[in-house]
Copies of this chain bind each other. A is one copy, B any other.
Amino acid sequence: MLGVTIKQVAKAAGVAPSTVSRVIADHPRISTATKKRVKKAMKEMGYHPNANARNLANRSTQSIGVVMPTSADKALQNPFFPEVLRGISAVAHHLDYSLLLSTGETDEEMQEGVERMVYSNRVDGIILLYSQIDDPVVNFLLEQDFPFVVVGKPSERVDEITHVDNDNVRAGKDITSHLINLGHENIGFIGGSQDRIVTIDRMRGYELALKEAGLPFLKDYRIHTEFLKSGGRQAVHELFSIPDPPTGLVIADDLMSIGVVNMLEEFGKRVPQDVSIVSFNNVYLSEVTRPPLTTVDIHIYQLGSQAAKCLIEKVKDRSEPAKRIIIPYEIKHRASATEKEASSKV
């Protein structure tokens, strides 16, 4: 039976609509007896409050917007997204919030989507699933003083923006050091778009580790490519044509690693025998691919769940200060990175 209103329930239970409302909210000003009576009526009539009316009266929507980039980086067929959504969804569901998804092929579309959500009061807060340099969306949200959190590290005004991130610099450094400890001295870096903060941070970690070990930070050892097809193959080929080709590779994303492993084998290099590889994210695949990847598990699910938690706190209490939540990471040691072979030392 659809379209039962609070008035009908009230009439059936012989009370005023306001009383029904209070019963729903479990307000103490209603006696247990009437509560029971009203609840019975609700159940019998199959009453369910209308979310729109409720939200209108409350000036709140009980829903949060999730902004997901898309084709910019095609690598965003990345399992990262389902996983982070899982995390967000879990806590949202638990706290009775709905998720409004917004995606866009271009930056303009994304901006547009966010504006729509904000202007038309469709959501109480927003989670940004990406972070890039000089993002107009972030500026817009700050300007509007609209609650939002970003998953990743904002490029500017870091202290004013609550965000949930890994310590990607340290992770980058740790994983690079791991390679160094395995005896590698020529270590390359392959990352995605240089506009993404996550790429930048991981590369900085890589740089720090090299410096600390007294190894040179060479331009020739770095590749930035949006996507792993034609362009990527070319770049990898060049990387291994230089006089001192790397024997270790730090790669910003597991998915890229898989592509790189295969390119390498195409060029006659084997992983890990000739080249050791480490990367980031620990998506499901990195465990079943061959070789299994040594990778930094960044706890994607937690990134999502914490982001949702923070955002909802902020929404409920606008005076909550900007926070910074760092999710711990964990290196998964698998077969893709091994000690530098004696062969190359000879």
* Residue positions of A touching B, CB distance < 8 A: 2, 48-56, 61, 63, 66, 68, 70-71, 74-79, 81-83, 85-86, 89-90, 93, 98-105, 109, 113, 116-117, 119-122, 144, 228-229, 255, 258-259, 261-262, 265-266, 283-285, 287-290
Chain B residue, CB-CB nearest to A66: B101
B86 touches A98 (CB 8 A): no
B98 touches A255 (CB 8 A): no
B229 touches A288 (CB 8 A): yes
Cα–Cα distance between A4 and B58 once the two chains are bound (Å): 17
User: A82-B82, A285-B255 are contacts. A52–B50 as well, Cβ < 8 Å?
Assistant: no
Distance to closest chain B CB from A281 (angstroms): 11
Contacting A48 at CB < 8 Å: which of B75, B86, B120?
Answer: B120
- Give every chain B residue within 8 A of A258 (Cβ-Cβ): 258, 285, 288-289
Cα–Cα distance between A77 and B82 once the two chains are bound (Å): 6
Contacting A262 at CB < 8 Å: which of B52, B74, B266, B290?
Answer: B290
User: A51-B121, A56-B53, A266-B290 are contacts. A104–B93 as well, Cβ < 8 Å?
Assistant: yes
Cα–Cα distance between A284 and B74 once the two chains are bound (Å): 9
Contacting A56 at CB < 8 Å: which of B56, B100, B113, B288?
Answer: B56
Contacting A82 at CB < 8 Å: which of B78, B86, B228?
Answer: B78
Distance to closest chain B CB from A206 (angstroms): 23
B121 touches A105 (CB 8 A): no
Chain B residue, CB-CB nearest to A89: B103
- Give every chain B residue within 8 A of A50 (Cβ-Cβ): 56, 120-121
Cα–Cα distance between A2 and B145 once the two chains are bound (Å): 10
User: A52-B56, A79-B78, A288-B259 are contacts. A85–B101 as well, Cβ < 8 Å?
Assistant: yes
- Give every chain B residue within 8 A of A266 (Cβ-Cβ): 290
Chain B residue, CB-CB nearest to A228: B288
Cα–Cα distance between A66 and B66 once the two chains are bound (Å): 14
A122 touches B98 (CB 8 A): yes
- Give every chain B residue within 8 A of A49 (Cβ-Cβ): 120
Of the listed residues A104, A121, A255, A287, the one surrounded by the most CB atoms of chain B closer than 10 A to its CB is: A121
Chain B residue, CB-CB nearest to A145: B2
A63 touches B100 (CB 8 A): yes
- Give every chain B residue within 8 A of A68 (Cβ-Cβ): 82, 85
- Give every chain B residue within 8 A of A56 (Cβ-Cβ): 50, 52-53, 56
- Give every chain B residue within 8 A of A101 (Cβ-Cβ): 66, 85, 89, 98-101
A105 touches B90 (CB 8 A): yes
Cα–Cα distance between A48 and B112 once the two chains are bound (Å): 13
Contacting A2 at CB < 8 Å: which of B55, B71, B144, B262?
Answer: B144
CB-CB nearest 4 A-B residue pairs: A262-B290, A48-B119, A51-B120, A259-B288
Distance to closest chain B CB from A298 (angstroms): 14
Cα–Cα distance between A98 and B123 once the two chains are bound (Å): 11
User: A122-B51, A144-B2, A288-B262 are contacts. A86–B103 as well, Cβ < 8 Å?
Assistant: yes
Cα–Cα distance between A85 and B82 once the two chains are bound (Å): 10
